């Protein structure tokens, strides 16, 4: 009996050590950003392509006010409500962050204090970002207007409020490969980077598995709206028959082929896309059409 | 002959049943008619915008006269008095999404719908001037005009499936 108890204790201990080991927050290699100079002008393109303002600008901010990254946007989900933090260059935001800190956040979902961020911050997509893009983005974020708005804590229930478990989520769901494996033209490669990495389109347009990761077998096939009623529409070629021109024009103007206009969250996405060069919107369209051959 | 009569009377009965089903509308006919009017107005917007969009996309060739005509229609539509389109109680929360996608916050105290409508008047007037002055000029006016559509749809229309 005593042997069995000891055996069980050892098993529990081993389990705890394994959990601790498996759920450690990861960070970037020390030399990832060595020698990289951030260019704020390129960083602005990254900023709009990445859709940062859609969550980090104050809710309902329009025009230039979308450059004040005060936070406060609420993302409702089955796990609770996530509240986007202030990421403006102030003490409440990213003041004091190094480019490595930003790299850890975007590539590994790890905070400067070494904690896991919730995947409502879409690092599952941002993990594909190039180091130069992160350096550029950092340089651009540093130029933005300050806000002293307080970052509010997420309203998340037990057990989801124990962030260590997010390490397991990452192990299960952070897949480093591209979905579109063959991007054999520069345009497709750019489109893939814009859609799968920066634009993080799949985070809403792809349904999720039981563990809350993206179901890559149903890529862009539409999904329930995590923030309420209705569905996020499918944008995969099997389910959406818009031409590439239609898609690019929609991303520029918000006008559908029927000349209805975008509503809801897509209005904010289109405001972001309008800041990109025309070639980028066409690259996104080319990518979506190319999914048919995947 | 008998079967023809039977068929006719059958059709008549079906017609009556169908009409009764339709007229058993539980909503105020005045509200139903206002909703129909504003939705028709939206169709007219889309119809005229569609010509400008097709030119901007390069799907049809640019025609200054046709573009100006469509743009002037849009400008006229934007200037129309819409106060009778929006009776109170004609919102999605009251009537359900099958009847209308217009959110109740349109009627709220702090509603900015008037400013959005004003922007539509300005951007469609700008398009009426720009549309005849070449394709690039038309394309340039399209952005602000489309944005004024989204300005309302973002905040005041229920998120669609």
In a domain, A165, yes or no: yes
The pTM score is 0.86
Mean pLDDT of chain B: 88
Amino acid B19: pLDDT: 46
Tell me how far apart the alpha carbons of residues B84 and B87 are, in angstroms, rounded to a whole number. Answer: 6
In angstroms, the separation between the Cα of residue B78 and the nearest Cα of chain A is: 16
pLDDT of A294 above 80: yes
Amino acid B135: pLDDT: 97
Q: pLDDT band at residue A78, thresholds of 50, 70 and 90? A: confident
Which of A130, A150, A174 terminates a domain? The answer is: A174
Amino acid B3: pLDDT: 60
Of A79-93, A256-270, B19-33, the poorest mean pLDDT is in B19-33
Amino acid B23: pLDDT: 45
Give the mean pLDDT of B99-114: 93
In a domain, A160, yes or no: yes
More confident residue, A160 or A128: A128
Of B19-23, B106-110, B113-117, the poorest mean pLDDT is in B19-23
The Cα-based distances of A59 to A83, A93, B140 in angstroms read 11, 17, 28
Same domain flag for A127 and A81: yes
Q: pLDDT band at residue B25, thresholds of 50, 70 and 90? A: low
Chain A environment of B49 (Cβ under 8 Å): 255, 259
Same domain flag for A88 and A217: no
Cβ–Cβ under 8 Å, residues A262 and A252? no
Give the mean pLDDT of B56-69: 97
Chain B environment of A252 (Cβ under 8 Å): 143
Amino acid B20: pLDDT: 44
In a domain, A129, yes or no: yes
Amino acid B17: pLDDT: 47
Of B145, B149, B152, which is closest to residue B124 (Cα–Cα)?
B145
Q: pLDDT band at residue B21, thresholds of 50, 70 and 90? A: very low
Q: pLDDT band at residue B4, thresholds of 50, 70 and 90? A: low
In a domain, A17, yes or no: no
Mean pLDDT of chain A: 94
Query: Could you give the residue ranges of the DSSP H alpha helices within B58-102?
Result: 64-79, 92-95
Amino acid B22: pLDDT: 47
Give the mean pLDDT of A246-269: 92
Same domain flag for A146 and A192: no
In angstroms, the separation between the Cα of residue B43 and the nearest Cα of chain A is: 9
Amino acid A121: pLDDT: 97
Predicted ipTM of the assembly: 0.76
In degrees, to the nearest 5, what angle opens at C-alpha A189 toward C-alphas A185 and A192? Answer: 140
Tell me how far apart the alpha carbons of residues A288 and A237 are, in angstroms, rounded to a whole number. Answer: 7
Q: pLDDT band at residue A226, thresholds of 50, 70 and 90? A: confident
Which of A174, A200, A218 terminates a domain? The answer is: A174
pLDDT of A4 above 90: no
Of A115, A104, A61, A58, which is closest to residue A83 (Cα–Cα)?
A58
Same domain flag for A33 and A101: yes
Tell me how far apart the alpha carbons of residues A194 and A198 are, in angstroms, rounded to a whole number. Answer: 5
Which of A152, A174, A196 terminates a domain? The answer is: A174
Of A135, A146, A147, A105, which is closest to residue A40 (Cα–Cα)?
A135
Same domain flag for A197 and A72: no
Total domain count, chain A: 2
Residue A41, class by beta-carbon neighbours within 10 Å (0-12 exposed, 13-18 middle, 19+ buried)? exposed
Mind listing the pLDDT tens digit for each residue in A139-179?
Answer: 999 999 999 999 999 999 988 888 999 999 999 999 889 99
Amino acid B159: pLDDT: 75
In angstroms, the separation between the Cα of residue A65 and the nearest Cα of chain B is: 15
Q: Return the residue in B153, B156, B158 with the most chain A beta carbons within 10 A, the one to mutate for interface testing.
A: B153
User: Mapping DSSP to helix (H, G, I), strand (E, B) and coil, where does residue A14 land?
Assistant: helix
In a domain, A5, yes or no: no
Q: What CATH code is assigned to B28-156?
A: 1.20.120.10
pLDDT of B7 above 90: no
pLDDT > 70: percent of chain A = 99
Same domain flag for A39 and A65: yes
In degrees, to the nearest 5, what angle opens at C-alpha A44 toward C-alphas A41 and A50? Answer: 150
Same domain flag for A151 and A225: no
| Segment A249-255 long-range contacts (CB within 8 Å, at least 24 positions apart) | A249/B53, A249/B56, A249/B57, A251/A281, A251/A284, A251/A285, A252/A278, A252/A281, A252/B143, A253/B53, A253/B142, A253/B143, A253/B146, A253/B147, A254/B146, A254/B147, A254/B149, A254/B150, A255/B49, A255/B53, A255/B146, A255/B149
In a domain, A13, yes or no: no
pLDDT of A228 above 80: no
Cβ contact (<8 Å) for B53 and A259?
yes
Domain span at A249? 177-294
Q: Return the residue in A76, A255, A267 with the most chain B beta carbons within 10 A, the one to mutate for interface testing.
A: A255
Same domain flag for A144 and A276: no
Amino acid B10: pLDDT: 55
Same domain flag for A58 and A196: no
Tell me how far apart the alpha carbons of residues A109 and A41 are, in angstroms, rounded to a whole number. Answer: 25
Same domain flag for A34 and A152: yes
Q: Kindly state the tokens that stand for B66.
A: 């046709």
In a domain, A256, yes or no: yes
Q: pLDDT band at residue B8, thresholds of 50, 70 and 90? A: low
Same domain flag for A150 and A35: yes
Amino acid A3: pLDDT: 83
Of A23-27, A150-154, A230-234, B5-9, the poorest mean pLDDT is in B5-9
Same domain flag for A161 and A32: yes
């Amino acid at each position: 009996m005593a042997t069995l108890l000891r055996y069980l204790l050892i098993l529990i201990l081993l389990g705890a050590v394994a959990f601790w080991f498996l759920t450690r927050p990861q960070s970037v290699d020390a030399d990832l950003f060595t020698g990289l100079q951030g260019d704020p002008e390129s960083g602005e393109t990254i900023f709009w392509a990445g859709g940062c303002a859609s969550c980090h600008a104050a809710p309902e901010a329009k025009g230039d006010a979308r450059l004040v990254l005060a936070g406060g946007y609420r993302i409702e989900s089955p796990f609770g409500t996530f509240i986007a933090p202030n990421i403006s260059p102030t003490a409440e935001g990213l003041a004091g962050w190094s480019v490595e800190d930003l790299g850890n956040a975007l590539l590994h979902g790890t905070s400067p204090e070494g904690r896991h961020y919730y995947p409502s911050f879409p690092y599952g997509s941002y993990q594909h970002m190039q180091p130069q893009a992160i350096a550029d983005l950092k340089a651009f974020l540093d130029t933005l207007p300050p806000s002293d708005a307080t970052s509010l804590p997420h309203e998340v229930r037990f057990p989801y409020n124990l962030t260590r478990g997010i390490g397991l989520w990452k192990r299960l769901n952070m897949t480093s490969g591209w979905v579109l494996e063959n991007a054999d033209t520069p345009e497709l490669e750019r489109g893939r980077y814009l859609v799968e990495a920066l634009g993080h389109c799949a985070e809403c347009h792809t349904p999720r598995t039981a563990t809350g990761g993206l179901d890559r077998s149903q890529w862009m096939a539409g999904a329930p709206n995590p923030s309420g009623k209705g569905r996020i529409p499918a944008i995969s070629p099997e389910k959406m028959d818009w031409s590439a021109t239609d898609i690019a024009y929609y991303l520029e103007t918000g006008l559908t082929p029927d000349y209805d206009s975008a509503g809801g969250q897509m209005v904010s996405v289109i405001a972001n896309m309008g800041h990109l060069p025309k070639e980028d919107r066409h690259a996104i369209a080319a990518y979506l059409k190319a999914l048919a051959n995947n | 002959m008998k079967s023809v009569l039977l068929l006719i009377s059958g059709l008549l009965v079906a017609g009556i049943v169908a009409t009764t089903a339709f007229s058993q509308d539980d909503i105020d006919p005045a509200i139903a008619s206002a909703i129909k009017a504003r939705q028709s107005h939206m169709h007219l917007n889309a119809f005229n915008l569609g010509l400008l969009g097709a030119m901007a996309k390069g799907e049809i060739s640019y025609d200054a006269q046709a573009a100006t005509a469509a743009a002037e229609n849009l400008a006229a539509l934007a200037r129309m008095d819409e106060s009778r389109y929006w009776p109170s109680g004609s919102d999605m929360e009251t009537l359900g999404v099958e009847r209308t996608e217009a959110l109740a916050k349109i009627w709220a105290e702090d509603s900015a719908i008037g400013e959005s409508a004003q922007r539509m008047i300005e951007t469609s007037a700008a398009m009426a001037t720009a549309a005849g002055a070449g394709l690039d000029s038309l394309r340039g006016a399209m952005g602000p005009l489309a944005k004024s559509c989204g300005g309302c749809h973002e905040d005041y229309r229920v998120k669609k499936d």
